[in-house]
A and B are shown apart, each in its own frame.
Chain A
């Protein structure tokens, strides 16, 4: 049943219609955690293995090894040859892939559900039986460096790499999973073996299975294929060995001149780890500020003032402290100072005046709809469960996010904004074109003057109303 009452409406989906299935989990004796989410309706299954290792577990000297290792995982084991994993998955109409992030490395495959056993066979084999030799290392090292160069040749990726370096000094988050070109050249086969033995083990992984599957069937396959694997004999990755707080920033304003034509300015703020109790409020603030064309930033920055062509926001969640950001892309005939000032004004307005109950309700509504649209996809469900498990420490949080959002209040949101998004915590990130087009500079100044005159005119008019 849906109730629409003007713009303050809340949505409620009748329980009989909504998919109310919940994920379940069990722990195997070797430490492997298995999460299962049954989803009937379409004969598709997703099997994902999430390792609790990413670039966060690297150190200077081996930066990039987690990602390099992800590549090595496709180069065969004692039982399967190079690229055999992908070939077998594709031969039944599935696809496989992997990604490395700061806090995790994930291997995933989606395939017709009747072939569910195949990924269990393949993933369990490479978890402990990977074949590593220097020939494979040399080939993959070159491929990874090619990928790195591709990012360096893209100004937006380059900006991300450079901003991270400055935003998280003294912490492994200062580099991306791409690592460092010099370190990549130095990584040896022994480094790889050491990395593999330490991090690739059932007690450092989470197996997630979603789709047209049954929990008992998953349990049988898990025990058959992963059950015989031994836990890591090495010291398990120790969270305490990783710094949890980034070092002190040298500069609160980071400006880059890059080979791009569309400048972007972002106001960034450090925020607590993903599991922190203030994160739901920050996520909702992101929605209110930047989700959709009715968001505050789009309305003020794009539609009304026309200072920007795009407005955006993000809550970068990490195991250790993350980053909150609001930003705008603007045509070069606008002045960056004016765009930046307008962004700041909107953030300050949240702190000063708070948000409305309607805005909060809209964020809840959007989340409800997103959850329903997303639940058609087994891959989407597995991804959400994995992120919640590895970043927040509990996969149930993926399914209960609406409860946390519904418990928020406008006053609570204002207080959270005041706590984290104040001007003294702000870091300005600016990516601008290398080449200055003076025509654009002049047009920008004229636009600023025009805006000032218009504002004065509106103010004067208001005196006489």
Chain B
């Protein structure tokens, strides 16, 4: 609250940079911590406990990763993992939702409950002297959520409101159409949270999903901050030692075998002066052997912001868009490779043409030695920025440990980036970033998207696709 928070200051030269850096932010980085400082142990039930002392500030960051997420929701109930996670914060143990909020706000604590595709994270950021209270809250949130029907109803309303608000955003409209089209609506990658799926969720679904979450195999409790490590590890061990072992999480999920390609999806929005374009096809996952080559290669293509090929061609030289980027999945389960931009309606076809030309040329020629060298230097240096705060460190560690990559992924990260060759980056470009098998989603006025659809049909037939 002390800092000036100004709703009007968001005018940013590179709004897409938020997207860019979020994208980059999911990548792995090394962390300058000495292994000797870390306590890491696995309890008899399989629950892993990690404590990392950090005395920079009198604060503690607690996280609990539970090994099930959005992909584990039953068919027709997409949104269940998010609802379950959020509902754990709306009353737990001896406190109802209002009492919990009151306590957390009085402490200045931040409570966290987020469901990701493959896992769910609960946590609390607090001042160091409040660790006892924070651990009590975290215990209650994980083990004893009240699942109050009134809070459930309110949370559903809030989720429906969020969906309504997002429907004003063309990027959202494109995103919810592309994945189901590419992967099929029932696959983990193609499932989309809609008003229909949220309305279908019942309290018994939430209770059942919570029980699914509480499995020790694959689960991790992590504490970073101003703590006495042995004591913190012991307390976390006591807290999570009684969780049933359960079964290991099933990641990565497989890719559906039958997928349609070369589709053009039109989403009609007559009043728009710009068309939003989202192009995608099945891409790699985080655990594939060519991950680092793909990471470096994607930086050169479209994740490197203003130094990327797509940005140079579509924005800097043509002025046709405010921004364009390409993205790859950071989940163990493989997901979309996609390219996104928005352009004024009259420039839609020229922008598509340039984008496809860039993809084709890049797949054919690959990056230059200098481009690969710069991308590698970027990732090697960027790890310092990505691990600046304990919250950032916690997020990365949890994912690495959950995916079985271990602490080694931290310490070997620069070496792994350094090992990427131009040939490897080119091979990744050829495998993942060519314009073959793309599905296009266009959000804009019908006449505009129809014209582009016809142009795509002609040009891609002409080019033998």
Contact = CB atoms under 8 A, between A and B. Distances in A.
Interface of A: 1-2, 4, 7, 9, 11, 13-14, 17-19, 40-44, 67, 70-71, 74, 82-83, 86-87, 90-95, 97-102, 110-113, 115, 138-143, 145-147, 149-150, 152-156, 160, 164, 176-178, 259-262, 274, 283-284, 286-287, 291-295, 298-299, 302-303, 306, 309-310, 314-318, 329-332, 358, 361-363, 365-378, 380, 383-384, 387-388, 391, 398, 401-402, 405
B97 A303 contact: yes
Interface in B89-114: 97-98, 101-110
B161 A331 contact: yes
Nearest to A304: B98
28 contacts: A4-B133, A17-B57, A18-B57, A42-B32, A44-B384, A44-B388, A83-B316, A97-B12, A99-B10, A101-B8, A146-B274, A146-B342, A146-B343, A152-B273, A153-B273, A260-B168, A283-B2, A293-B97, A306-B157, A309-B158, A331-B157, A331-B160, A358-B106, A365-B108, A366-B105, A372-B58, A378-B388, A387-B3
A159 to B, nearest CB: 10
Nearest to B274: A149
Nearest to A92: B381
Task: Choose among B55, B274, B385 the residue with the greatest number of A CB atoms under 10 Å from its CB.
Answer: B385
B378 A294 contact: no
Nearest to B382: A93
Contact of A164 (B8, B97, B169): B8
A21 B157 CA distance: 45
Contact of A388 (B4, B55, B316, B321): B4
B400 interface: no
Contact of B7 (A100, A283, A314): A314
Nearest to A260: B168
Nearest to B128: A17
A98 B318 CA distance: 21
Contacts of B8: 101-102, 160, 164, 176, 316
Nearest to A388: B4
Contacts of B344: 145-146, 149
Contact of B154 (A40, A44, A303, A370): A303
A370 B2 contact: yes
Contacts of B383: 93
Nearest to A90: B378
Contacts of A87: 306-307, 374
B208 interface: no
B226 interface: yes
A91 B378 contact: yes
A378 B56 CA distance: 13
Given A146-B322, A155-B168, A316-B6, A2 B56 contact: no
Interface in B274-323: 274, 304-307, 312, 315-322
B96 to A, nearest CB: 10
A42 B384 contact: yes
A176 B165 CA distance: 22
Interface string B137-161: 0000000000000000010011011
Task: Choose among B305, B306, B390 the residue with the greatest number of A CB atoms under 10 Å from its CB.
Answer: B306
A367 B127 CA distance: 12
Contacts of A274: 4
Nearest to A17: B58
B207 interface: no
B125 interface: yes
B106 A9 contact: yes
A294 B15 CA distance: 32
A18 B108 CA distance: 15
B133 A101 contact: no
A384 B2 CA distance: 8
Given A156-B168, A303-B98, 19 more contacts: A7-B103, A42-B388, A92-B381, A93-B385, A150-B274, A153-B271, A154-B169, A155-B168, A261-B168, A294-B101, A294-B105, A329-B165, A369-B127, A371-B2, A372-B58, A376-B390, A380-B3, A387-B3, A405-B2
A293 B101 contact: yes
A418 B11 CA distance: 33
B41 interface: no
B32 A43 contact: yes
B17 interface: yes
B58 A376 contact: no
B228 interface: no
A164 to B, nearest CB: 7
B120 interface: no
A363 B385 CA distance: 30
B98 A294 contact: yes
B379 interface: yes
Contacts of B2: 283, 367, 370-371, 384, 398, 401-402, 405
B342 to A, nearest CB: 6
Contacts of B312: 83
